[in-house]
Structure formats: structure tokens, C-alpha cells
A and B are shown apart, each in its own frame.
Chain A
Amino acid sequence: MPARQDTSKLLDSILHLRTSPLLSKLTSTSLAPLAYHAQEVRFAAGDVVAHQSEISNQFWHILSGTVRASTGETRGVREALEGFALLAGIGMPFEAVADTEVRALVIPGDAMFEALEDDSNLLHQLTHGLAARLLMERENLKGDQSLLAMPIGGSKDEHGNFDLVQRMLLIQRAQDLRRTAATALADAARNTIPFRAPKGEFLWRRGENALHGYMIVSGTVSALYADRSPIRLGPGIALGVLDFLAGVPRRNDLVSNEDVFGLKSQLSRFFEALEDHFEMATAVLSTLARETLKVLCPSCRA
């Protein structure tokens, strides 16, 4: 327990952390363990805040001031510091320099991951915050890039009634789930059912709540928008989870262009699965953070 004179500092940190975009929905109970480990740091204008390729092991929340890359870029620098590089598990994509005097709260990465493992609310909100940011950044890209579809490796045209093992193998082949524990894969596979959609069937409609994620094994689908050209996708892609993670309704119609076959997962169980399998949760956080950094700073090696 902190000494009495530290209480103001702790509460101050809780109040400040609540203003972080990724942590804004958290209660003081979830924020307290993070605030307890938060240290205030200051940098004068021109100081190097983080070196390029330095493995990020801190979660920053910049209270005042601005940062930029030493090359002059500003996009993505703040985000990389504010948890995206840490959660993505990558080194800093650039050298970050204080543009003006910078004041920030810094939380050790270990404290962040310990809290994530202990507090499902924190895990949920952080996932939600990252997904919402990725969705927004993708939307801004317009065109085909506005929709996140993860490629599934291996052959594209497979048929048949997928059994549990085939579903496990398929999920494992989906990007970033190769290292997922086999028990988590089995749980994830049990949460899916094979589906077939004839040509012209809507897999979802704009404005609906996101209830299912889809792995399109064969056939193609199109995402239809009211104000822009459709986007053609598939086969060998996974999509539809990001809306759910971000907590937003579907932003487009998804219709099959031909007979489509694949797996459909119940998203209502998604967070349960993340709580049961922390490694899978960190893999999801890592994907969301890395994809966001890729959009913010395409030249970076996120």
C-alpha cells in the first residue's frame, strides 16, 4: 500500500490514465493497479524519448507536449509509445523525439500484462479500444484497404463438411494464430460451425449487430457500401470480427458472389475464450496493435 503522502499522486495518475483513449472506459478499480506502477517522466524539447528498434517494454500516456519521429514524421509516433508498440510486441518503429517539452506517465510493460491477465475488464476494454482505433484508421484509408480481412494460408478451394480437426487446422492457418495453444484452438474450433451460402445470400447487413466472424474457405464475397464501390474478397480470408471487437454495428452488406463455403464463429464467446487462454488474448492484442501501426506509419516495419 502506498504511503499516505502518495495517495494524491495515485489518484492523480488514475484520473490521468482515464483520459488515455485506450483506457477511457475503465473503472477506477481497473485503473488503480496500473496507476500504482505509473511514473511521471519529463523530456525537454529535442530529447530522444525512445530509440529506433528498442524493444518497447513500457506503456506511455502523454499528458502534455508532442512527439515526432527523428525523420520528422508525426503519425504513429504517439500511438507507438502509448501502448501500440508494447502490445504489438515489436521494437520502436522509429526514433521518437520530444517536439516540445513532454510530460508523460509511464507504466512498466510487466505491470500492464499482469493486470491484463488478472482483470478481464481491462482486457476487454483494451481490446475494444484497439479495435475501434484500427477500424477508424482503416475507414480513413478508403478503397479496398478500408476493410480488414486476414489471409488464411494454404490451399483455397476446399470443400466437405469440416470436422473438429479440420476446423482446428484451418483456424491455426489463419494469420497470427499459429502459436496459439492447441487447447485454445480446440475451444475456438468448437465455437465454429461450417456454413454454405448460395450466390446472392447476405451474410450480414449494414446496421446489424456483429454476431459472427467468417472464414471464407471457397468462393468470394463482396462488401457493399452505400457511398463507394464494393470490395471483392476471398477465398482464403477471415473477416467480420473487428466490428464486434470495436463494439460497432456492421458498416456494410456482405453478399456472396457465388457459392461460398467456410466456417462461421459465434462472437459472443470470443471474450470468454480470451479470458480462458491468455496467450490467445495477447496474440489478438498484438495483431490489432500491429495492424494499426501499419496503417499509421506504412513505412515502419510494424
Chain B
Amino acid sequence: MSALSLIKRREVLTAFALLATLIAGHTLLETARDALFLAKIPATKLPWMYLSIAALAFFTSQLRMPALQRFDRRKLLAVGLVFGAALTAAFWFVAESGDWVLYALYLWPAFFSSLAVVTFWLTLDENFTVTEAKRVYGFVGAGSTTGAAVGAAIARGLVEMYPARNLLLIGAGFFLASALVVSLATKGKSPPSTKASEALSWKAMRQIDAAPYLRRLLLLSLLVSVCATLVDYLFKSWVSRSVPPAQFASVFASVSFLQAVAGFVVQIVGVSLLMRTAGVTRALLVLPLAFVAGGAALAAAGGMLLAIALKAVDGILRFSVHRTGNELLFLPVDEAIRQRVKPLVDVVGQRVGQTVAAIGVLALGAVSFAPRILAGALAVVALGSVCLVIGLQGGYLDLFRQILRRGRLPVLTERPHLDLGALETLLKALNSSDDGEVLTALELLVAYRRTHLIPALILFHPSREIVLRTLEYFAEAERKDDIAILDRLRQHPDPEIRAAALRARSAQTQEDKDLRAGLNDQSPIVRATALVGLTANGKLKAEDASKQLIELLAEPEEPKQLAVAAAIRRQPQPQFANLLLVLASSNSAAVKMEVGHAMRQMPSTSFLPALIEMLAVRPARSAARDALLAIGDPAREYLENALQDSTIHRSARRAIPATLALFPPQAAADSLLRHLCNEKEGVVRYRILRSLRHLQERHPNLQLDREALQQMTGYTLTIAFRNLHWRLTLEECEGTEPSLPGHQLLRALLRDKETLAIDRVFRLFHLQHPREDFDWISRGFRSDSAMLRSSAEELLESVVQPAERDALLALIGQSDSDDRFRAGLAYYAFHPLTLEQLLDQLLQASSGTVRCLAAYHAAELGLQQFRPKLEAIRADAPPELAEVVDHALLMLSTRSPTETAYAG
């Protein structure tokens, strides 16, 4: 309750008090009713009473519907309680007027509770999110057990001295007190707006029918009600057969007291703990499992004591663990639907369950009274509800997933099917006056493998770019219907178009006439193309061609280099490998890209160093990756080694994880995971995680080493806690000066590192639980919406191991620092630090930036005691840190603490 606002705390306390007084009165009323009824009426009549209660409840629900629609719910509750008190008191007057009064008295508590208790919980549901509810419902529910204990204790104490009938008057008093609590709590409050959707309506049945989750909730309510009715019947039957009527009230009061006291203990000690550790759905298994065990034992051995024990367990668990869990199951349901459906589920589930049980008992009673058979039936029905609860988990979590995904944009996962209309659209776009539109249409037709549908006449398009691109596409598709146009293009004034036409033409025919003519072209671009074409056709020795090409490339002009690379790409020959390596050293990104494409056509391990370097050049990266992929396993091994090599260009190293991810998935994933645990650079670790995620999305059956992932998760949580600890210490410890620029930068860096570590933890969770969308869970935690945050928490709790989950929740939560570190104890041992200790630790951190900022901050604070430490660090510091330390030492020797070296 510590994180609740004052207003919410008051609401919780009021709810507790209200429920306690209400249930105390109800317990007194029920004890009196059972004792008075069974003393005069045989237990065999009980099934008829169950049926009557069910029928009455249906009537009540109809009565409640218009009332809930018209009146303020809290006022309605107050009026209902006053009416309840009056009628209970009236029963005291007429209790001995005949059997009809006893029948009416038996029905009265059920009628009353179906009105008052349901209205109470509905009012409460309006005020809390699922996270708040999980925290406070246990406490509010304890009001029920406290009230039951008080009521039972009063009953137990009085029945020895006074007739059971007198308990009715005391019960009426409690109802009156409840009405007073409601009135006081409502005083001065404006009534909440009553929406039409909140009304109990039979139309809601259709909504239940349409939603599998709600159907299951209804069925669960029904099965638990069948079980509870059977337990009640078994208990009362055995008591009425085994105990003298004069002691009925004493037995019932004792059992009620036992239920209440034990229930109270469970509620206080167990419910919250159970909900948090086992989760809602697992906690809901407790009662059905108890029914299974109790039913089986009773069927096997029989006996009043077992029946009493079963009744006690039912009372202890149903109104503590089960009730709280059941309320929580409804919280992720859309509020409008919940308001409409929940009362119906409660009423229909409980009362139909009662009816089914009553009919079952009557049917068995017609044959012969066979309590053991009935106990066996109880075990079977309870087993059904166990299965149902197990099946509920998926639906429950799905509702939270839906909440988190509300407003999420759908994703285009694959290229849509090309139908006739779409094809028409693309062909029409080829006539567009906008070159961009034409280029996109060409690109899409090629992507859909419809190059043959591109009209050859487009080669006469006025746009140079369109003509060159089309020539490329035609050459790749080996189109042969454009020979006449290609011949004409060979006379084109633009040398690049002439060269491209020559390439396309020579790829179609093995004739060397055109190529030889090309050798005499005035443009070196065309001559280079001709040389490569002749070599590819075997008309020229590769050595001779290479020699001439190298001469041609003596002056490194981009168009010439591009033309040679493109020609080699079209007609790859191993003899041109060296020439490609020469071209790979070009400064032009476009040439590098073309070289990458050419290398792909003639894979060779000799290209590996050049290709790794090309990864650093963004425009050439994709071509380099394709070429590496074409080389296969040797390239993968080379990349793995390069990832460990700190001398590789930083940009190239950072591009390696995504490149590795293109290789056969399992081998790639294994390589990446191996490096994840050893990688020092945060950006590379991040990119490895991102690549692993992409691999997993593309290959859902990928096997990732869970142990390595868990180890990495633990390590990352440790890093996050350490950064949190450092940051909080920096913000809170004495002696620091938040306005100093170094302080601000250091604090921002630590926060940034903390955030990045948390992000990596989410990514690691996603790799371990790929079916869950941790992106959206992470976004949920960052959201302003309490509902989204609690949904994210609920999903996280259901999927992730408790230790990791608690640690992550502590990292992203808002609780005070001690609690946060306690939750992360498995990953980080918290010891308070002084400023000096903090700076000491920061100066020894693995991050170069942190060390630099720590040195700077110590100097800007004028901490002279750090001079020897800084001098020691200076001795073997890398150049970057050495520079900062030099500056820091200078600051310490020349400036006072208040004079900053570089105030912003």
C-alpha cells in the first residue's frame, strides 16, 4: 500500500471496514439460519432450498439491473443494508411462527448477499488498476475474513448462553453499522456517472458467448459453485445425522470461526504472496485442488470429521484466495464489458452451479443417500475445474497483450500477391511523366519476376537513369527481344549507355564483332567493357586484358572504374580477381558497391579482407554482404575472427553482427552468442542482440543456448544495477555539486547506460521467450497510462523467472532506492558509497567515457586527494584518458574547486 495515494489508502481502509461489518452480520445470520433450519427440517430438503436460492438469485439479478442503472451504486448499497437490517430483525420476531418462516429464513441470507456483496465488489473495481488491485484486494478481502471471524466468535460465545434466534438481532445490528460506514464514506462525494453499459443485462450473455475467455470464467464460476454446494450439503447432512440438534448452532459457529480465523491468516499472510509468486491463474488452482483431494478422501474413507474439514477448507480458501483471484481475472477485461458481464458471470455461474448440484443430489437421493458417491462426484467436478483453470492462463495473458497492442500499427510482413489490377497499375506507371514513378514500377516488376512484361521500347526513354536501369534488368533477365534496340543504343551519345548496351548485347551472343568494334570507341568506358567482354568470350587472354585495363584505369575516374567493375560483374572471370582488388581500394562508394556485386559473381577467399573493409562503407555494405555470403563458410569464420579483432575499423566491426546473421541460421546464431558474452563494446553487444532477434524472427525453430542467454541477462542486470547505484550516489551524496558541467554529463551518461542496459535485458528476455512481444511490454512500462504499465507488469510476471523479473521491475520502478536494491540482491550487492568511493570506482570502470568523466569531475570539484590516484592512472592510461587526466591534474594544480575549467 506504500505506493498508493492518500485518497486511495482511505478508500482501501473504508472498503475493509465495510466488508468486515457486512460479513460479520452475514455470518451471524447464516449461523442462526442453519441451526434453526436443520433443527426442525431434515437435511434432505436442502437441495430444494438450493434450487429456491438459485431461482431467487435470478429474480434478484433482474431486480438489481434497473436499480444499478438508475441510482448511485454507493447509495443503493446503503439503502440495501438498512433494508437488510430491518428484515433480519423482523425474522427475529417471527422465527417461531412456523416452518414457512424457516424456509424463508434459509433463503434470506443468499438473497441479501447476492445484492450487497456483488454491489460492493463492483463499486470497488471502479477504483483500481490491476497492479493496484493485486496490492490492495488481498487486504480488502481480509475484511471479509475479519468480519467472518468476529461474527463467528460472537456466535460461538453466545450460543452456549442464548438461543440461536438471538443471533439474528446482532446480525441486523451489523448490517445497520455497514450502512453507516457507506453513508459516511459517500458523504460529500459526487455520484460517479452511471453508464448504460454498466447495467446487468441478459444481452451480456451474447458477449460472454462470443468471448472464449469469458465463457471459461463463467464455466469456472459454475463448476466451483457445484463443488461448494456439494461440500455444503455433505457437511450439513453429516452434521445433522451425527450431532444432536441442540448443538447445531455450536458446531456451525465453531466451523465458521475456524474458517474465519484460518481464512484471515491465509488472507493476510498467503494471498498477496501467492498472487505475486505463483501468479493469478496458478493461485486459482488451490481451491479446486483442495476439492479434488477432499472429495477423493471423503469418497474413500467417509466420516463427519472429514466433511467438517472439507467445509472448513472451502470456507478458508473460497473467500480468500479464490475470491481475490477471481476478481483479478476480470481486471484485464475492457471496463465496459466487465461492468456488464461480471455480475452475470457471478449470478449465472453461482446459481446455475447450485441448481446443477441440487438436481444431482436430488437424483442421487431418489436412488438412495450415498454421500461417498456424492464425494466422488465432487472430486470429478473439481478435477474439471482444475483443467479449466490451467486453460485460462493463455486467455488471461492474451487480454494484457491486447491492451498493450492497442494503437499498434500493423506490419507489412511480406510482399502482397500481384493480381491483374495491380499489374495494370504497374504497367500504367511505366508511362508516367515522373521518372521516379517509372523507376519504382520497373523495380517492382523485376521484384515480382515480371521483367519480361517491361516493354523493350522503354529503352528509348528520355531519362538516362531509366535506360541504364532497364539495360541492367534486361541483361540480368537475359531478354533476347531487344537486340535491334540494343544495336541502336550502341550508337547513343552517352558512353555509359553505349557501354551498358554493349554489355547486354555481348551477354546475349557469343559473337565478338561488336566487342571488337567497342575497342575502338572513343570512350574508355566502352573500351573497358569491350576488353572484359572479349576475355569472357575467350577471344582475348585475361593477362593481356588485365594489363590494358590497368593502363586504362591509370587515372582513377569513377565512370571508368564503374564500367570495368560492371563489365566484370556481367561476365565474371577468376583472372580479374586482382583487378577487382585494385578497384576495391577506390575512394568511390559507388565503385566499391559495384566491385562488391562483381565479387559476388566470382566468390574467392582472397576478397575477404577487402570485403570486410567494404562493410565500413554504408552504400557498399549490402553488396559486400552478398559477396561474403556467396563465399560461404570461410567467410563466416573470417567474420567471426574479425569480430574479435579490435584493430578492424570500428564501423566495419559494428556491421559484422548483421552480416553474420545472413549465414545459415544455427551456425550464425551460435557464433553471435559466443561473442555476446565476451564483447566489450556496448554498441556491438546491442547489434548482436538485434541480429539474434532478426534471426529468431526469420527462423522460429532456431535453438539458442539458454544458459548463455541467462548468463548474459544476469550480467546485464548487474551492469544496470551498478549504473543505477552510481547515478543515485552521484545525485544524493554529500560533497558533490550538481551544477558543474562534468557532474551533469556524468549523471546523464550513467542514466543513459542504465537505460541501454535495461533495453538489452528486454531484448535478452525476448530471445528467451520469443512468443512474447517484449518490445510492447517495454513500451508499456514507459507509457503514461497506468493500465498499460500494469498490463506490462502482469505479462512480465507471467513469463520471466521471479528473480530476474523482480530485479527488472525494481530497475524500472519508482520505489525508494533501498527496495530497488533489495530486489536486485541476486545480481548486485549494494553497499552505500561516499563520493570519494564512488569516484574511485568510476575511475576503474571498464568504460573509457566513464573514467574520463570521473577524472574530470574529481578535478572540477577540486578534490586534491585524487591527485595521486590520477597520477597513477596516467601512467598506463590509453591516449584518450591520458589527455583528460592531464587536464584534470592541471585543473587541480591551477584552479580552486569553484572555478571550473570549462563552464558551459
Contact = CB atoms under 8 A, between A and B. Distances in A.
Interface of A: 1-2, 4-8, 10-12, 14-16, 18-19, 24, 27-28, 31-33, 36-37, 108, 110-111, 114, 120, 124, 153-154, 158, 160-161, 163-166, 168-169, 172-173, 181-183, 185-186, 190, 269, 271-272, 276
B527 to A, nearest CB: 27
The list of the 10 closest CB pairs from A to B, nearest first, reads: A182-B749, A163-B883, A7-B422, A182-B748, A36-B412, A8-B421, A18-B440, A18-B436, A186-B849, A165-B856
Nearest to B854: A165
Contact of A6 (B416, B749, B848, B880): B416
Interface string B405-440: 000011111111111011011100100101011011
Given A1-B412, A10-B416, A272-B654, A182 B745 contact: yes
Contacts of B742: 165
22 contacts: A1-B412, A1-B416, A7-B416, A7-B422, A8-B425, A15-B425, A19-B434, A19-B436, A36-B410, A111-B409, A120-B618, A163-B884, A163-B887, A165-B852, A166-B901, A166-B902, A173-B904, A182-B745, A182-B849, A269-B651, A272-B651, A276-B654
Contact of A32 (B409, B412, B425, B748): B412
B444 interface: yes
Residue picked from B414, B651, B848, most chain A C-beta under 10 Å: B651
A11 B425 contact: yes
B707 to A, nearest CB: 29
Contacts of B756: 183
B904 A182 contact: no
A269 B741 CA distance: 27
A154 B741 CA distance: 12
B367 interface: no
B210 interface: no
B421 A153 contact: no
Contacts of B63: none
A37 B409 contact: yes
Contacts of A172: 745, 904
Given A36-B412, A110-B409, A158-B902, A15 B856 contact: no
Contacts of A31: 440
Contacts of B752: 181-183
A158 B904 CA distance: 12
**Interface residues of A: mostly helix, strand, loop or mixed?**
helix
B425 A1 contact: no
A169 B903 CA distance: 9
B443 interface: yes
Interface of B: 409-419, 421-422, 424-426, 429, 432, 434, 436-437, 439-441, 443-444, 447, 618, 651, 654, 682-683, 741-742, 745, 748-749, 751-753, 756, 848-849, 852-853, 856, 880, 883-884, 886-887, 901-904
Residue picked from A114, A161, A186, most chain B C-beta under 10 Å: A186
B830 to A, nearest CB: 24
B618 A124 contact: yes
A268 to B, nearest CB: 8
Nearest to A25: B436
B617 to A, nearest CB: 8
Contact of B437 (A8, A19, A185): A19
Given A182-B749, A182-B752, A276-B654, 20 more contacts: A2-B416, A4-B416, A8-B422, A8-B425, A11-B426, A12-B425, A15-B425, A15-B432, A16-B437, A31-B440, A160-B887, A161-B883, A163-B856, A163-B886, A164-B852, A165-B745, A165-B856, A168-B745, A169-B904, A183-B752
B884 A164 contact: yes
Contacts of B741: 169
B419 A7 contact: yes
A15 B440 CA distance: 6
Nearest to A34: B412
A37 B409 CA distance: 8
A169 B902 contact: yes
Contact of B417 (A7, A108, A114): A7
A8 B880 CA distance: 57
Given A11-B425, A172-B745, A163 B409 contact: no
A27 B904 contact: no
A270 B390 CA distance: 53
B884 A165 contact: yes
Contacts of A14: 440, 444
Contacts of B852: 163-165
A19 B440 CA distance: 10
Nearest to A183: B752
Contacts of B421: 5, 7-8
Nearest to A277: B683
B585 to A, nearest CB: 16
Contacts of B884: 163-165
B413 A1 contact: yes
A154 B880 CA distance: 24
A5 B416 CA distance: 10
Residue picked from A19, A111, A164, A183, most chain B C-beta under 10 Å: A164
Nearest to B859: A165
Nearest to A23: B436
B871 to A, nearest CB: 16
Contacts of B618: 120, 124, 271-272
A34 B474 CA distance: 29
Nearest to A24: B436
B672 to A, nearest CB: 18
A241 to B, nearest CB: 16
Contacts of B682: 183
A190 B849 CA distance: 10
A39 to B, nearest CB: 12
B444 A183 contact: no
Nearest to B885: A163
Residue picked from B417, B436, B683, most chain A C-beta under 10 Å: B436
Given A1-B416, A14-B444, A165 B904 contact: no
Nearest to A35: B412
Contacts of B410: 36
Given A11-B422, A164-B880, A154 B904 contact: yes
Contacts of A19: 434, 436-437
Nearest to A187: B683
A200 B412 CA distance: 56
Contacts of A12: 425
Contacts of B437: 15-16, 18-19
A24 B439 CA distance: 10
B887 to A, nearest CB: 5
A75 B86 CA distance: 78
Nearest to A186: B849
B305 to A, nearest CB: 64
Contacts of A164: 848-849, 852, 880, 883-884
A205 to B, nearest CB: 17
A24 to B, nearest CB: 5
A183 B853 CA distance: 12
A169 to B, nearest CB: 5
Contacts of B444: 11, 14, 28
A38 B432 CA distance: 21
A233 B440 CA distance: 43
B45 to A, nearest CB: 63
Contacts of A165: 742, 745, 852-853, 856, 884, 887, 902
Contacts of B880: 163-164, 190
A272 B415 CA distance: 28
A28 B416 contact: no
B409 A15 contact: no
B414 A28 contact: no
Nearest to A158: B902
A120 to B, nearest CB: 8
Contacts of B903: 154
Contact of A108 (B409, B419, B426, B886): B409
Contacts of B751: 182
A28 B443 contact: yes
A286 B763 CA distance: 28
